[in-house]
Chains A and B, each alone.
Chain A
Amino acid sequence: GQNIDQPTEMTATEGAIVQINCTYQTSGFNGLFWYQQHAGEAPTFLSYNVLDGLEEKGRFSSFLSRSKGYSYLLLKELQMKDSASYLCAVINSNYQLIWGAGTKLIIKP
């Protein structure tokens, strides 16, 4: 089968750094997305990784290791508005997009 694993929930403090991990087992790999979804809202695009390494975009960075089937999303200088679910999604060899269940991130003051 195909599987995307993310922690269900994480808690962090405003101003701190948090790393959200995603591991995947899919039939092939053609890229990995991170999306942010605030409660009751639609997902919005954060990042796309297809090559190994770190992609930095402002306070958010995304890392990929294809050999390990692993990615993480790093959020720096956390703000209260970062409280949301973070969805990891992988494109497999059939160009299907497989979604993880998401990690609910709670930011405390």
Chain B
Amino acid sequence: SAVISQKPSRDICQRGTSLTIQCQVDSQVTMMFWYRQQPGQSLTLIATANQGSEATYESGFVIDKFPISRPNLTFSTLTVSNMSPEDSSIYLCSVTQLAEIYNEQFFGPGTRLTVL
């Protein structure tokens, strides 16, 4: 298993500002993902964070809005840029220890973001 921590756990931000969310894993992992989840809705994958190269973004998400870093195998950041109230959501980091998508994902506790 993997233990994942996220910082901050929650934040309230002003429109037009940016917030960087950190994800730290207690062991080296192969794949790291960033999700968004709005209350009562499904998880939506934002991107796969790739170590040493640019993240792979899903349809509807772009690097300018959600820049992602992954400097090593245990850490990643997601920035929510130029925020608007529509960005209010829970942002979750998840990891798999093996390279294949059909492995169990371990999730961080999430970051609850409110944009005013």
Q: Which residues of A contact B (CB under 8 A)?
A: 4, 8, 30-31, 33, 41-45, 48, 50, 87, 89, 91, 95-97, 99-102, 104
Contacts and interface: CB of A to CB of B under 8 A. Distances in A.
Interface in B20-46: 40-45
Given A42-B108, A44-B107, A91 B42 contact: no
Contact of B101 (A41, A87, A91): A91
Instruction: Report, nearest first, the 3 A-B pairs whose CB atoms are least far apart.
Output: A42-B107, A99-B42, A45-B104
A102 B105 CA distance: 16
A10 to B, nearest CB: 14
Nearest to B112: A40
B109 A31 contact: no
A99 B107 contact: no
Nearest to B33: A97
Interface in B41-69: 41-45
Interface string B94-116: 00000011101111111000000
A91 B104 CA distance: 12
Given A42-B108, A43-B107, A44-B107, A91 B40 contact: no
A45 B105 CA distance: 7
A101 B101 contact: no
B78 interface: no
